[in-house]
């Protein structure tokens, strides 16, 4: 009996595997002998032999249905892009020109947090960062200054905010009310970082390297460093620190480890400095790479990561403070990488110019690009993980990305 070979659409047992890190360009179908995904079925053409009474199946119908298949597959991939990334953009009720600078949540209420930025931006969330509402602080509006809120930190219900021009805010009720703490006009430099450490206690850092500690709600501060960084460099300029004689007296970036160690990058990026609790001075270090340093910070294992201008990424050998680094290949599309944030010992995210977003699952040894922010025309300046389930990327023009996991 004659038979005709035709293409018939049939519910297939083929399985389409979709994972958060899935790349639409590598779309593929495969058969699994033991596992099926009934809620994610796909339809593929299947050849079969049938009796001659189906021979009336016309050539026109064949072309139409196979063309429909061709159009369906790319559409499936395009829809998947909305759920492939582990990040989503959160739109904020602020001016487009605002640069977001820091974020923190109340430990006793993980859904309650605050977001800081330029132009006196202070936003509050009570749903874990899905939505944000503007907050105003009357004591910061009495003057004609347009404050830049640089850093925020909570310990229990106590919280601290520092900004520029010099302003220090304190709360003891999880941010329901904020009190302004007076500061000395002799404070060296601008306050760029604060860390709530214990009851009524905090640690504050200025961009000139001053570190101060308080244990009475900020009414008195004790210096943890005996001299400014400029004075330290004047003593060590003959010791071979490259660029020390050109030091302008301020940090470009400063980052603190969970155990209280600091690493800071000089304003020109030609060397870096470290400080550990108990040291009387900052310790300057020559950069171990040819290009100038963009930023430095701490890995989850206690080692250092280092970013250079132009997009290079380096990891220190071993843990602790060292001057030995190894370069790690990254694909940043030619844009600079500006920050790295670790979600766990193995997983970390790097962010940078023009929406660059990279991910590692092996402690930084290799990185893959996440295309979530490719269409966002903004620089991503900071990666913040509150814990392994809550993370954010902060950028300019009011761009905020929320980690979905």
For 108-164, write each residue's pLDDT tens digit. 999 999 999 999 999 999 999 999 999 998 878 767 788 999 999 999 999 999 999
Give the per-residue pLDDT at 318.
86
Least confident of 56-65, 159-168, 312-321, 382-391: 56-65
Rounded to whole angstroms, the Cα distance separating 14 from 331 reads 33
SS3 content of the chain, % helix, strand, coil (to 5): 15, 40, 45
Under DSSP, is residue 307 helix (H, G, I), strand (E, B) or coil? strand
Give the per-residue pLDDT at 239.
54
pLDDT over 90 percentage in the chain: 60
DSSP tag of 386: S
Residue 243 — pLDDT band, cuts 50, 70, 90? low
Q: How many CB atoms lie within 10 A of CB 51?
A: 10
- Per-residue pLDDT, averaged over 298-306, amounts to 96
Residue with the two structure tokens 């050109």: 246
- Per-residue pLDDT, averaged over 315-333, amounts to 89
- Per-residue pLDDT, averaged over 244-263, amounts to 85
Tokens of 246: 């050109």
Strand order in the sheet with 325-328: 293-298, 304-308, 313-316, 325-328
When the pLDDT of each residue in the chain is averaged and rounded to a whole number, the result is: 81
Type and span of the H or E element at 70:
helix 59-84
pLDDT digits (tens, 9 = 90+) for 182-191: 998 888 999 9
**Do the Cβ atoms of 107 and 156 come closer than 8 Å?**
yes
Contacts of 321 (CB under 8 A, 6+ apart): 261, 263, 274, 276, 283, 304
Question: Does the pLDDT value for residue 25 go beyond 60?
Answer: no
- Residue 31: C-alpha distances to residues 18, 41, 49, 282, 393 (Å): 14, 12, 22, 60, 38
Give the per-residue pLDDT at 37.
33
Tokens of 250: 């301020």
- Per-residue pLDDT, averaged over 373-401, amounts to 95
Question: Does the pLDDT value for residue 79 go beyond 50?
Answer: no
pLDDT over 70 percentage in the chain: 76
Give the per-residue pLDDT at 320.
85
Question: Does the pLDDT value for residue 12 go beyond 90?
Answer: no
pLDDT digits (tens, 9 = 90+) for 32-73: 333 333 333 333 333 333 344 434 444 444 444 444 444 343
Give the per-residue pLDDT at 288.
84
Rounded to whole angstroms, the Cα distance separating 300 from 279 reads 23
pTM: 0.77
Contacts of 60 (CB under 8 A, 6+ apart): none
pLDDT digits (tens, 9 = 90+) for 189-240: 999 999 999 999 999 999 999 999 999 999 999 999 998 888 888 776 555 6
pLDDT digits (tens, 9 = 90+) for 268-287: 999 999 999 999 999 999 88
Rounded to whole angstroms, the Cα distance separating 380 from 240 reads 35
- Domains of the chain, CATH where assigned: 4-84 (no CATH), 136-224 (2.40.10)
Q: What angle do CA 220, 221, 224 make, to 5 degrees?
A: 160
């Amino acid at each position: 009996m004659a038979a005709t070979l035709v293409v018939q659409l049939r519910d297939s047992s083929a399985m389409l595997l979709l994972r958060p890190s899935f790349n639409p360009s590598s779309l593929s179908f495969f058969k699994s002998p033991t596992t099926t995904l009934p809620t994610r079925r796909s339809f593929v053409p299947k050849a079969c032999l049938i009796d001659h009474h189906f021979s009336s199946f016309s050539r026109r119908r064949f072309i139409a249905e196979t063309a429909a298949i061709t159009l369906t597959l790319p559409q499936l991939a395009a829809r998947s892009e909305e759920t492939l990334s582990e990040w989503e953009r959160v739109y904020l009720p602020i001016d487009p020109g605002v640069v977001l600078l820091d974020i923190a949540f109340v430990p006793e209420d993980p859904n309650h947090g605050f977001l800081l930025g330029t132009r006196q931006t202070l936003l509050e969330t009570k749903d874990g960062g899905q939505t944000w509402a503007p907050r105003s602080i009357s004591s910061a509006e009495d003057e004609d200054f347009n404050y830049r809120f640089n850093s925020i930190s909570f310990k229990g219900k106590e919280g601290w905010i520092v900004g520029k021009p010099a302003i220090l805010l304190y709360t003891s009720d999880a941010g329901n009310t904020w009190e302004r703490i007076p500061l000395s006009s002799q404070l060296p430099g601008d306050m760029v970082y604060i860390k709530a450490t214990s009851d009524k206690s905090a640690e504050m850092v200025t961009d000139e390297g001053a570190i101060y500690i308080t244990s009475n709600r900020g009414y008195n501060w004790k210096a943890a460093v005996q001299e400014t960084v400029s004075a330290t460099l004047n003593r060590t300029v003959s010791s071979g620190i490259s660029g020390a004689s050109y030091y302008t007296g301020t940090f470009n970036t400063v980052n603190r480890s969970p155990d209280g160690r600091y690493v800071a990058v000089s304003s020109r990026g030609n060397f870096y400095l470290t400080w550990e609790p108990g040291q009387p001075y900052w310790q300057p270090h020559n950069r171990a790479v040819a290009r100038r340093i963009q930023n430095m910070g701490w890995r989850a294992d206690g080692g250092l990561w280092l970013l250079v201008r132009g997009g290079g990424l380096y990891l220190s050998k071993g843990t602790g403070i060292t001057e030995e680094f190894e370069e790690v290949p990254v694909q940043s599309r030619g844009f600079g990488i500006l920050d790295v944030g670790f979600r766990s010992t193995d997983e970390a995210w790097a962010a940078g110019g023009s929406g660059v977003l990279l991910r590692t699952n092996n402690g930084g040894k290799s990185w893959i690009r996440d295309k979530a922010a490719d269409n966002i025309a903004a620089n991503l300046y900071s990666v913040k993980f509150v814990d392994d389930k809550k993370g954010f990327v902060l950028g300019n023009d009011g761009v905020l990305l929320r980690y979905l996991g």
